[in-house]
Amino acid sequence: MKPVSITVAPNGARRTKSDHPALPVTADEVARAVAACREKGAAMAHVHVRGRNGEHILDVEAYRDVTSAIRREAGPDIVIQITTEAVGRYGPAQQAELIRSLKPQAASIALREIAPGPSEEDSFAELLSWMNTERVSPQIILYDRQDAARLEALETAGKIPFDEIPVLYVLGRYTAGQVSRPIDLLAFLEAGRARRSRWSVCAFGMNEAACVTTGALLGGHIRVGFENNLWLPDGSIAGDNAALVSTVAEGLSRLNIHVMDGPTLWEELCKAFC
């Protein structure tokens, strides 16, 4: 089995402390949560930032603050990935401007948000070309088989300037009571789809560990955390994000699957740059 990376998504855009008191919101809270997750095996942190009222924001200074805090608490090795998630508040130009202004180490981008239609595809391609030149590692978020097929079409058309662009397969939706299943992954891996070497998976609800472990057994990488799930496999509430990371890391160890550290993950991600 090839080595697997674990990414932690500690907060997301929607949940608040009313959902879980340990949900990290401030820069210092996020940094401490990421540091604890790094100790349990996380190689990358997928980070959202919040405004004064706890709302999801795409803000350069807020991201600089949380990046500094993570480096202070978790050290230089963990990979920091920002999000450009729109949550109905931001358009493609604002998402692209965040990446260009911040020049982060890595950024996740939902295909259907950054290029909702054909008219945005050229600007999306230009952004990816800039990221390639500046060595900002992209991860394209795909929510269903239609998203996956569209990305393949863009690759065929020569609009994706990476030999193997990293992707994230999202199993399920941000809806109340959503519980993903391992079989949901088959929609992305069905025969005829491009076989990717750099893909990750995230899932909702108490089956999160089963879903992402299935992904690892099939050659993928893992994202877990309070953004998508608050529960341990037995249905109890996880004490914190580190408990979710630890559960998956221990499961992988029992399956004799090696867990990457941050520097190894970054070396792997850099192979995508042309």
Range of the domain at 257: 6-270
User: Quick check: 106 and 80 in contact, CB under 8 A?
Assistant: yes
Q: Is 169 helix (H, G, I), strand (E, B) or coil?
A: strand
Paired tokens of 39: 């100790």
For the four alpha carbons of 189, 10, 44 and 140, in that order, the dihedral sign comes to positive
Confidence at 193, pLDDT banded by 50, 70, 90: low
Task: Please check whether residue 204 lies inside any domain of the structure.
Answer: yes
CATH of the domain at 84: 3.20.20.70
The pLDDT confidence band at residue 191, using thresholds 50, 70 and 90, is low
Taking the CB of residue 201, how many other CB atoms lie within 10 A of it?
28
Query: Per the structure, how many domains does the chain have?
Result: 1
129 assigned to some structural domain: yes
Whether pTM exceeds 0.75: yes
Report the DSSP beta bridge partners of residue 46.
81
Length of the chain: 274
Beta bridge partners of 224: 8
Instruction: With respect to residue 180, please indicate whether it lies within any of the assigned structural domains.
Output: yes
Is the sign of the CA dihedral 12, 16, 174, 94 positive or negative? negative
Distance CA(213)–CA(224), nearest Å, equals: 11
Q: Is residue 186 part of a domain?
A: yes
* In-domain check, residue 139: yes
pLDDT > 60? residue 98: yes
Chain mean pLDDT for the chain: 95
Does residue 1 lie in a domain region?
Answer: no
Tokens of 143: 């929510």
